[in-house]
Amino acid sequence: LPWRFGPDQREEVVQVGAPSYITYTATNHGDVPTGGTAVYNVTPAKAGLYFMKVQCFCFQEQILQPGESVEMPVYFFIDPAIASDRNLDDVTTITLSYTFYPNESQALRDAQDAYYRAIETGALEDVSAPEHDVAGLDTAATPVVTAR
């Protein structure tokens, strides 16, 4: 994907059990609409059981128009049960990362068709992205979450 994707903050200190919010920004540097779907990873793996996503852009197709930038939020909390898991006594930092994979879908084909029709009719400035959460890139971006 011709997207630039990254966290808006590289590190976030959170309280165990408290709701937390971080954001990412994606920009399509390509010259056509493109789409992708993100999957997430939590490291160390043993902490993954306690990383609770409340809302995320992952696992949903995201379509970006050429030049479009979009902010993508992640709401989460660290389950308080982490404090009583002796196997995690050595964990003070949890790393959240995303990898995006290109998508080919009817929604993307529709966005590309609309884009090309707009070019043909000279109405390009009227083309907008479908209303939905947006994300994307084929590489991982990693903020560090320090749980206290």
93-110 pLDDT, tens digit each: 999 988 888 888 788 888
3-state secondary structure of 49: helix
Element (H, E) at 77: strand 69-78
Strongest mean pLDDT among 20-29, 54-63, 133-142: 20-29
Element (H, E) at 119: helix 106-121
pTM summary value: 0.73
Arithmetic mean of pLDDT, 105-133? 68
Name the residue among 15, 148, 19, 9 with its Cα closest to residue 91.
Answer: 148
Strand partners, 43: 95
Instruction: Decide if pLDDT at 135 tops 80.
Output: no
Arithmetic mean of pLDDT, 105-121? 81
